[in-house]
Structure 1
């Protein structure tokens, strides 16, 4: 079953070069047979009756709360595979930081006023530990790095996916999307988004997909900006 999943991801990644995209929203026909991994990931994120990541409030002005996209905060801690996770948000942020849950001391802090996403660059986070992602010194979200045994198993499967795709001549974006879809199958949504944002020179389709994530998850914020409120 595991090898079948990996093979399916490889074939889908190779076939993911054609997407039907509008400037600000993906076109997802209910009966489409499009095998695109981007479409599959988008559907998993937004088209379920109970989407795994839900829209939340936030703002872009210094006095407004920030829309913290990933890691987000479900009913329990968001579990992440990566020990160097991506932090993704919408709104005004001067600094982001990481600290152990229950501690007031930051183990890592980074200026963030000129971007809307940053990959953690501190010492690798420890398996099984719960941390807080802190923005502007006050707003925070807890998340947990998965246990070592599970992390190692996933790492091995990701290496297999990458090797198989490299053998077919797949590019960096196709490999990242195959990994993202793999994480989506495991409901590891923070890691899905990290792969989506890991491509240094994204295609127009992937760029639109990234914009659409923020548009959908922080839609109340964007609606207010458009109306001038």
Structure 2
């Protein structure tokens, strides 16, 4: 078995060796897809089709090389991507000069980015609101951009997930698990509920101390090599 995959899966199994008792109520998310988080890791490593659909350039003017820009998360599936986080992490590939979040064409947040930057967390004073749909836009020229819509999940569903995550973290801390193991456990929880953007946000939420996890994050770029 590929050593990277084996080590990554081992960390996930260790972090989740004792699963907490979570909410018994079903969590309605997006339509179920067949991939589990473990298979997604495998697919990301081996460059197979992942359960997310990054939005790539190609339908816009060629000035600024839009074909080189890929909006990884939130991504663009057939239906609007739903996220749990009210301060989501934006991940892209390619050279852009700023990212913007809009609500009904009105700017909620603008963040200039460096030429080499490819992640940024929503940092406005007010969090995004449950149940609302927003537009994430990346600018590669002053007036040229690409965009993806996403929705923050409804409050009742979001509160249930928040309680589950608190219980999960409490148990893992009682077992003296480190922040990396806790983040991996949360990422698996999100992925099992088809919340892929939140799973990725957890993957980026800790300082990675192992070469294996560094390589796993680096392999996320391979998502942009998958044709839509």
Structure 1 and Structure 2 fold alike (TM over 0.5):
yes
Give TM-score, length-normalised by structure 2. 0.74
| SS of residue in 2 equivalent to 1:138 | strand
Aligned residue pairs, count: 189
Q: Does 2:180 align with 1:178? A: no
CA distance 1:45–1:58, shift in 2 (3 Å):
farther
The equivalent residue for 1:117 is: 119
CA distance in 1, matches of 2:86, 2:176: 28
| Cα pair 2:71 2:92 within 8 Å, conserved | yes
**Equivalent position SS for 1:127:** coil
CA contact (8 A) 1:130 1:144 kept: yes
Shift of 1:37: 2.2
Q: TM-score, normalised by structure 1?
A: 0.74
Counterpart for residue 22 of structure 2: none
Question: What is the alpha-carbon distance in structure 1 between the residues aligned to residue 53 and residue 136 of structure 2?
Answer: 18
CA shift at 1:45, angstroms? 5.6
C-alpha separation in 1, matches of 2:131 and 2:54? 27
Q: 1:27 to 1:54 in 2, by over 3 A?
A: farther
Alignment pair present for 1:143 and 2:150: yes
Distance 1:204 1:79 in 2: 31
TM-superposed CA distance for 1:54, in Å, is: 3.6
RMSD of equivalent CA atoms: 2.8
Question: Which shifted more, 72-81 or 48-57?
Answer: 48-57
Residues 47-69 of structure 1: per-residue CA shift (max 9 Å, x gap): 4997421466459x942341000
What is aligned with 1:72?
Answer: 75
Partner of 1:219: 225
Aligned partner (choices 195, 204, 222) of residue 202 of structure 2: 195
Q: Does the 8 Å contact 1:77/1:143 carry over to 2?
A: yes
Within a 5 Å distance, the mapping from 1:81-92 to structure 2 comes to: 81-92=84-95
2:3 alignment partner, one of 3, 17, 20: 20
What runs of 5+ residues in structure 2 fail to find an aligned partner? 14-35
Relative to structure 1, is the Cα distance of residues 189 and 203 closer, same or farther in structure 2, using a 3 angstrom cutoff?
same
Deviates more, 1:197-206 or 1:111-120: 197-206
**Residue 107 of structure 2 aligns with which residue?**
106
Choose between structure 1 and 2: higher strand proportion. Answer: 2
SS of structure 2 residue aligned to 1:75 = coil
